[in-house]
Chains A and B, each alone.
Chain A
């Protein structure tokens, strides 16, 4: 992995370029990592994925916990029950009468290795994968059950405790382009003692993860982001299996955030994963917490974050100097039947002539279930060039939602992803033009004004 900052705006916001081995083109940052489940988007099938703008859409987020089974342990009432995830709830829903035969195990790390790793397994050879244990949709950190042996997550298969050794076994077999070390994330209301423990633990696990990452002895030249040690006879010991992103936590405590960042900054990593956000901190306290982290990180290495999903939250992250973002926003919009419509054109003047918004819209998104769209034969956004807007109408999607057809979610995920990637593009443009702060202010203000107008007009 290679990363370089190309432009700065308003001090901290940076536009950069990241290059991953498997992707033919470099990807510009700040950029969005598309959410996946078991390596593929939730609804967009691989052949439709290529209809999204490239290379913007080539970076995918992936949680190894999605392929739970062989490595992690199922914890039930504090006891280790079994190593297999027997998903009784879901099987019962599907009317499965033979639970003994069917399991919800993913392929074992050994199988994944024999297939050739994640890229091979999901057939996305020219995409980049970032592996992070937490995904803000279905693998949520459960700090109450996390202990010194491992991190606990709430997943669709129940609560799972994952130890660094198990995590690294999965990372090694999957070979993502980059991966975050295992972290102990606590919510904003955690007490100081618990928070401090989480920092100590996260740093300890970082060291453990790095120690367990596969070693590769090779003759390498200079350069590259992986820090290398040159031993006396001229070989370099390189960490293989993807670029390591050191995890940084610290909850809502500025001092702990700073401490953690400083600890991780001296470690042998290729980038930084900022955890613990999107877990209850307020919009107001977030910027100072973010800055407490990024101010203590070297400028030349990429920063990735989890949990900042909404546009305003992304802007906060960009302002603090974050480069890579995942987002659960698209997923939630999609399953709710919403489509993004907020203007991406930065030259749009703020419209002070407010009209009554129709039932379906708040001017940032529309609710396609609303009856007002039953006969609307226009696309979601008039000049959007995504597959959905080029091929289908609001009326058709409204119908699909009403009859509970999966195609509705497929079409919505395509449009919403396309639209959000456009948002990231306008962020990058604003940074390159040196007016990011202005862009952020205008964006936030116009959305607030729309909402205020809606309240007044009702």
Chain B
């Protein structure tokens, strides 16, 4: 175990904590930008520190391909290679293989696939995944899991869940650096509460430093999604971090935090930036749209980031999708938005005002102190909050009835 997790404040199931990792002491709830290939697209490490990024996710699959984990190891590990002084997390490589490669197949041994370099058959075993991650040197590493899409039904889900547990043991055995890197297990089991329960128990028995809730963020309906998260957070140990993989949209992060999750990652903010879409409290703003041509307002008047303080929508409009600078500036804003969201979640839970975050705009409570507060329900000015959100908040014990029209 190479981390400390200390809960600093609670609101019902939601918790704000300090997660102390070898390279950085993080505050949760936190959002991890995805730096697929050893960089966040278009941003320097200085800028990431500037906007308050605490931990970055690196994709093992991509890094093992280029520049290879051996080279990263030889040059002192990924932190040194990219000159990122704060925390890093690597995934196991399994998900990318299954989603990116043709003819990827999963057997008890591991994930068999065709090498994208020369087409030769290759095998990624749990042992190999951990070895690669040991070489890369991230603060948190992920066990190789048998991940199945939630849209699939049948015995495959049960098979995958049990295999995930067996593979976790192999991962633990193969892990050479337990005092420097934290191995997280991943809860699988599809949308089946019985399977999820078995998996949670199995992982908790292994006494890992932290746990992830996997197999979601893949197209399942939102009602099933939140229920799985709720079930897992209820069953996972209180004193260890919980990471919902692949989440996500600001709304999802707020709901999952209300239900007791701590860590998130998603390509969404940076990817949508490259398509010209900015994240704003009201939802999204499509900067490419004709309406932006002469709009002299900033992207988000309440945002304190460099982009919103200096630039108009009109100017960003003429940059997006056409110039590298457009991507950079929008990515900067979108990541700042997500990180500010996490900071707000943390501080509002610690300060005991978590539910105040949801007060709708024309209420007097949403004044100066909370001017940067999470107002995710501003997305629904007509009060048409989705049912799944209402149900989830119900379970989380948070009253949002004032924001709902019905």
Residues of A within 8 A of B (CB): 37-38, 40-43, 45-48, 67, 69, 87, 90, 94, 96, 101-108, 110-111, 114-115, 121-123, 156, 374-375, 377, 387, 391-393, 395-396, 398-400, 402-403, 405-407, 409-411
Contact = CB atoms under 8 A, between A and B. Distances in A.
B42 A410 contact: yes
A403 B322 contact: no
Interface stretch (B164-172, B195-203, B304-312): B304-312
A400 B39 contact: yes
Interface in B282-326: 288-290, 293-294, 296, 306, 309-312, 314-315, 317-319, 321-325
A407 B43 contact: yes
Interface residues of B, number: 47
Contacts of B62: 403
10 tightest A-B CB contacts, nearest first:
A123-B310, A107-B314, A111-B294, A106-B318, A403-B37, A406-B42, A102-B288, A399-B67, A407-B39, A405-B39
A395 B71 CA distance: 10
Contacts of A108: 293-294
Nearest to A124: B310
Contacts of B39: 400, 405, 407
B289 A102 contact: yes
B83 A392 contact: yes
Given A107-B294, A123-B311, A405-B41, A38 B83 contact: no
Contact of A391 (B46, B74, B321, B323): B46
B135 to A, nearest CB: 14
A376 to B, nearest CB: 9
Interface of B: 37-39, 41-47, 50, 62, 66-67, 71, 74-76, 81-83, 275, 288-290, 293-294, 296, 306, 309-312, 314-315, 317-319, 321-325, 327-329, 332
B271 to A, nearest CB: 13
B323 A102 contact: no
Contact of A121 (B50, B290, B315): B315
Contact of B41 (A43, A48, A121, A407): A407
B310 A46 contact: yes
14 contacts: A42-B323, A42-B324, A48-B44, A108-B294, A111-B293, A111-B294, A111-B314, A375-B71, A393-B75, A399-B37, A400-B39, A405-B38, A407-B44, A410-B42
A101 B66 contact: no
Chain B CB within 10 Å — which of A40, A42, A67 has the most? A40
Contacts of B332: 45
Contact of A43 (B50, B81, B324): B324
A270 B188 CA distance: 73
B5 to A, nearest CB: 31
A51 B83 CA distance: 17
B321 A94 contact: yes
Nearest to A376: B75
Given A102-B288, A106-B318, A393-B81, 5 more contacts: A38-B325, A45-B328, A45-B332, A46-B310, A406-B327
A107 B315 contact: yes
Nearest to A95: B275
B318 A101 contact: no
Given A42-B325, A94-B321, A405-B39, A391 B296 contact: no
B343 to A, nearest CB: 20
Contacts of A111: 293-294, 296, 314
A107 B318 contact: yes
Contact of A122 (B315, B321, B324): B315
Contact of A395 (B42, B75, B290, B325): B75
Contacts of A114: 296
Given A123-B311, A396-B83, A399-B66, A47 B293 contact: no
A395 B66 CA distance: 12
Contacts of B329: 45
B318 A115 contact: no
A41 B319 CA distance: 12
